[in-house]
Structure 1
């Protein structure tokens, strides 16, 4: 595997990379590898399922549910034992 050094990277770019990597649950190095791989191969980097679903459906907004009040008081679980 090859190694690559990037000089004179703007601090704001580095911070945005750090945030993006954290959002995807990986190191900055892994994030940069994914970005570079995607740029030269045309493939989107694979994200974990939660991140992929969040990204795909975040623009749709949330859902407010009207939950009915409890008819009976809560009780402790009856576990065998």
Structure 2
């Protein structure tokens, strides 16, 4: 397994990580590993703009639109 070292971590972030780890019953290392894994997994799920938009708004249930048939001519406002 690979290892990384994070230097110059902001003290506030380190404290938040320590508190989250304690709250979840994990070591700081395990908590950081879980956070990184979750962040990267969510990036892999939504690669394109369309996928990201769908993921963001899917909880609202979506919208049903009445689409015109292909036979109807679209009006563009030009004469």
TM-score in terms of structure 2 length: 0.51
- The structure 1 segments of at least 4 consecutive aligned residues displaced by more than 2 Å after TM superposition are none
* C-alpha displacement of 1:12: 1.1
Query: Any idea what SS the aligned residue of 1:34 has?
Result: helix
| Aligned length in residues | 42
> Alignment RMSD, CA only?
0.6
Gaps of 5+ in 2: 43-79
The 5 A counterparts of 1:22-61 are 22-42=22-42
Larger Rg: 2
Between Structure 1 and Structure 2, which shows a larger proportion of helix residues? 2
Give the whole-Å Cα distance in 1 for the aligned partners of 2:37 and 2:4. 13
The 5 A counterparts of 1:1-80 are 1-42=1-42
Give the whole-Å Cα distance in 2 for the aligned partners of 1:35 and 1:12. 16
Gaps of 5+ in 1: 43-81
Query: Any idea what SS the aligned residue of 1:5 has?
Result: coil
